[in-house]
Copies of this chain bind each other. A is one copy, B any other.
Amino acid sequence: MAAHDTERPLLSGPLEPGSRTKQNGSNKKRRYRRSKSAPLAEAVPSGADFPCSRVQRWDTIFGTIHPSFKTVAIYLSLYLGIGTISFYLVKNQIEGQKTNGVLDAVYFCVVTMTTVGYGDLVPGTVLTKLLACAFVFSGMALVGLILIKAADYLVEKQEILLVKAIHLHEKLGPSEILKDIEIHRAKYKCITIMFLLAVLIVSGTVFLYVVEKRDFVDAFYCVCSTITTLGYGDQSFSTISGRVFAVFWIITSTICLAQFFFYVAELNTENRQRALTKWVLCRRMTNVDLEAADLDEDGVVSAAEFVIYKLKEMGKITQEDVSLVLKEFDDLDVDQSGTLSVSDLTLAQSSPDEN
C-alpha cells in the first residue's frame, strides 16, 4: 500500500528551530499563496471529463442559475402568448374599460401576472375567473423564480459599469475593480437598482402626465400604486398608447422594486457577515481554540486547519461540509499517511473498488 514516489520535499511538519523534526533546514519565512488560481465553479468547462455517470453534466446542473436570455424570452413569450390568446378568446366575458381587443388581452395578462390587478378590466364569468386564478399563480412563479434572476444578472452587468465610473479617476486595474465589486457587491447593486428605479418612476410619471393627461399627483400616485403592485384601480392606463407603454413599463418597474427590497436585505446580510468576519478574525485565539482547530490531532494547527476553523466560526461552512469531504479524503488516502500524494491518487483511482 505504501508509496515511495513523493519527489518533492515533505515539509508539512512544523519547522520550529528547536524542534526535533527539523527537516531540510527550511526555516525560511513562509507566505501562503494568495493569488492561487482557485477552482472556481464558473471556471470548470462544461465539456469536462465526468467520471461519475450518476451525476448530471455540469451545464445541465447550472444552466439555469442565471437563466440565459433565450430561456427567459421563451418562458415570457410562452406565458404572454398563451395568456393573450386565452383572454382574447374570452374577451366578451371580461368587463370594464376596453380599447383594442388584442392589446387589452396583453395588458390584462401583464396586470395579472405582476399582481398589480387594477380592476379596470375584471373577469365576469366563472371560466374567466378560474383562468385569472391560474394565470396569477403561474405569473407569480414566472416573475419570482425566473424573471427576477434574469434581472439580477442584468443588474450585475450594470454594476460593473457603475463601479468603473466611480473609479474613473483612480486608475484602478480591472482586477482591483473586480475585487471592489466582490467585496461591496450588495452595496453597488443597491445603488444601481435605485438609479434604475428613479428612471422608471420619472418616466412613468411624465408619461401619465403628458400622454394620459393626469394631474401631477395622480400620475405619481398611479406610478406608486403600480410599481408596488398595489393597484387600487382608481388610476390606471386607459388609452391605447397608455396600455402599450404599460405592458413594458409595468413588468420592468414591478420587478425593479421587488429587486430593490431584495438587495436591501442582501446588503443587510452582507454588512452583518462583514462584521462577523471582522469579529472572528480579530478574536483572541485560546488554547481551547487551538485544540479544536487541530483537525488531524497532531498537536499543531496548520494554515489550512486554521482556515477551516475560522471559516466554520464565520458560519461560511458547516461541520457537515467538512465531514463529507474528509470521508472522500480518507478514501483517496490509500496509504493512510494523513496526506495525499501523487501515488495515493494513482492507487486510489485505479483500484477496482473505486466508487
25 sample A-B contacts, Cβ–Cβ < 8 Å, listed by A number: A6-B19, A10-B14, A13-B339, A15-B337, A15-B338, A19-B337, A28-B336, A30-B338, A32-B296, A36-B292, A38-B319, A51-B282, A52-B282, A61-B279, A116-B230, A119-B234, A133-B224, A141-B264, A182-B318, A303-B333, A306-B325, A306-B332, A310-B325, A314-B321, A316-B316
- 14 extra interface residue pairs, beta carbon distance < 8 Å, beyond A55-B282, A141-B264, A302-B305: A2-B17, A9-B298, A12-B296, A29-B336, A32-B295, A39-B313, A52-B282, A56-B279, A58-B279, A123-B221, A129-B218, A136-B225, A290-B345, A300-B340
Q: Which of B115, B217, B272 contacts A129 (CB 8 A)?
A: B217
Report the minimum CB–CB distance from A352 to chain B (whole Å): 15
In the bound complex, do residue A41 and residue B315 qualify as a contact, i.e. CB atoms below 8 Å apart?
Answer: yes
In the bound complex, do residue B307 and residue A32 qualify as a contact, i.e. CB atoms below 8 Å apart?
Answer: no
Q: Which of B39, B133, B329 contacts A292 (CB 8 A)?
A: B39
Chain A: residues with Cβ within 8 Å of the partner, total of 153
Minimal Cβ-Cβ distance residue in B for A276: B61
In the bound complex, do residue A115 and residue B295 qualify as a contact, i.e. CB atoms below 8 Å apart?
Answer: no
Interface string of A159-180 (1 = CB under 8 A from B): 0000000000000000000010
Q: Which of B58, B136, B145, B338 contacts A261 (CB 8 A)?
A: B145
Minimal Cβ-Cβ distance residue in B for A232: B119
Total copies of the chain: 2
In the bound complex, do residue A295 and residue B304 qualify as a contact, i.e. CB atoms below 8 Å apart?
Answer: yes
Q: A132-B225, A140-B261, A326-B34 are in contact. Are A341 and B299 (CB under 8 A)?
A: yes
Question: How far is B323's CA from A126's CA once the two chains are assembled, in angstroms?
Answer: 62
In the bound complex, do residue B341 and residue A16 qualify as a contact, i.e. CB atoms below 8 Å apart?
Answer: yes
In the bound complex, do residue B292 and residue A296 qualify as a contact, i.e. CB atoms below 8 Å apart?
Answer: no
**A309 at interface, CB cutoff 8 A:** yes
Give the chain B neighbours of A324 by CB distance below 8 A: 277, 281
Question: How far is B276's CA from A30's CA once the two chains are assembled, in angstroms?
Answer: 33
Question: How far is B1's CA from A27's CA once the two chains are assembled, in angstroms?
Answer: 12
The 3 closest A-B pairs by CB, nearest first: A8-B299, A13-B13, A304-B304
Give the chain B neighbours of A244 by CB distance below 8 A: none
Q: Which of B300, B309, B335 contacts A341 (CB 8 A)?
A: B300
Q: A233-B117, A279-B58 are in contact. Are A345 and B302 (CB under 8 A)?
A: no
